[in-house]
Amino acid sequence: MTDLIQFVVAGLAQGGAYALIAIGFVSIFTVSGVINLAQGEFAALAGLTGVSAIGAGLPLPIALAVAIVVVVAVSVATERLAIRPVKKMTTLTSIILTLGVSTVIKAAMLLIWGPQGHTMPAFTAGDLNLGGVSIRGQELWILATCALVGGAVWWFYERTLLGKALRACAEQPVAARLVGISPKNATMLAFVVAGVTGAVAGVVTSPVYSSAWDYGLTLGLKGFVAATLGGLLSIRGAIAGGLLLGVLENLVAGYVATGLRDAVAFVVLIVLLLARPGGLAKHAEARV
């Protein structure tokens, strides 16, 4: 039982990272129908930028702020240079474009930071032991950040006038234009939200999982699977999907084989697309 609880706790922490990435996918897709495959690279870039900022002598809070600002700037540049110039954007086109952006960001990170991984210092030192179950302090930070950021983004899109205006651009683009809502500006704001969530995911997970130039590929794909579990339109579904995926991975790694950990996400994606393409979350307009 102790081992089971340990696997579940570790899985929830890892799933919190997937959930933060998934929120970024949902934030953009909800507004523009764009699937941003560079979302994982935003997290990797934030972690590496934070490491460099701390190495330059900046205190941890300022280093985190610098990392978030840099990633948001890259996210906005992605929207301006790769997404906005396309006259008729389709989901397939967005996948191809953002895949190219992802490759460029990976190449830049490899040139700047090299192939080795880098780790930020933990936000708090020490572990918490409860009945033989060890919980790292940084894992608590990941879970708390996931809850805070996820709740804030959900509240923004569901409870604020601006958030509803952004969603209207995807649901009724012509009507949104008629009432003065700019789809282009809405898409840019959605990329800002996705940049913040991706950057936060990168900095809070770096002390545990390290950051490297190729770290974003795996994290981005698993975040996409988590978002798909929620139908790509539900913030709460994305968070639940990320936590579920993290727990499943750790249970498979603990009880079956460690080498099968990364295969879990893709098996889940295949089964989901075959059995319930709209995702697990109940949503009247869920689409993959």
Q: For the segment 207-244, what is each residue's pLDDT rounded down to a tens digit?
A: 988 899 998 988 999 999 999 888 788 899 899 999 99
**Both structure tokens of 114:** 């090299």
For residue 33, what is the enclosing H or E element?
Answer: none
pLDDT per position as a tens digit, 145-162: 999 999 999 999 888 988
Residue 196 has a pLDDT of 96
Taking every pair of Cα atoms in the chain, the longest distance, rounded to a whole number of angstroms, is 61
Q: How confident is the model at residue 201 (pLDDT cuts 50, 70, 90)?
A: very high
The answer to which of 10-19, 101-110, 137-146, 249-258 has the lowest mean pLDDT is 249-258
**Which residue type occupies 140?**
L
Q: φ, ψ for residue 139 (rounded to 5)? A: -65, -35
Going from the C-alpha of 67 to that of each of 43, 53, 73, 199, 211, the distances in angstroms are 10, 8, 10, 7, 13
| pLDDT above 90 as % of the chain | 55
Residue 288 has a pLDDT of 39
For residue 125, what is the enclosing H or E element?
Answer: none
**Both structure tokens of 91:** 């989901």
pLDDT per position as a tens digit, 59-112: 999 999 999 999 999 999 999 999 999 888 888 899 999 999 999 999 999 999
Going from the C-alpha of 155 to that of each of 13, 105, 283, the distances in angstroms are 23, 31, 17
Mean pLDDT for the stretch of residues 175-204: 90
CB neighbour list of residue 185: distance below 8 Å, 6 or more residues apart = none
Going from the C-alpha of 175 to that of each of 32, 170, 172, 233, the distances in angstroms are 15, 10, 5, 20
Q: Indicate if the pLDDT at residue 286 is higher than 50.
A: no
Q: How confident is the model at residue 277 (pLDDT cuts 50, 70, 90)?
A: low
Check if the beta carbon of residue 87 is closer than 8 Å to that of residue 183. no
Residue 278 has a pLDDT of 64
Between the two ends of the chain, the Cα-to-Cα distance in Å is 37
Predicted TM-score (pTM) of the model is 0.91
Going by the DSSP 8-state scheme, the letter that residue 79 receives in this structure is I
Q: Indicate if the pLDDT at residue 279 is higher than 70.
A: no
Mean pLDDT for the stretch of residues 259-275: 82
Residue 3 has a pLDDT of 83
Q: Find the length of the chain.
A: 288
CB neighbour list of residue 14: distance below 8 Å, 6 or more residues apart = 246, 249, 250
Residue 285 has a pLDDT of 44
Identify the residue with better confidence: 23 or 174: 23
Q: Indicate if the pLDDT at residue 122 is higher than 50.
A: yes
Residue 287 has a pLDDT of 44
Residue 25 has a pLDDT of 94
pLDDT, averaged across the chain: 88
Residue 110 has a pLDDT of 96
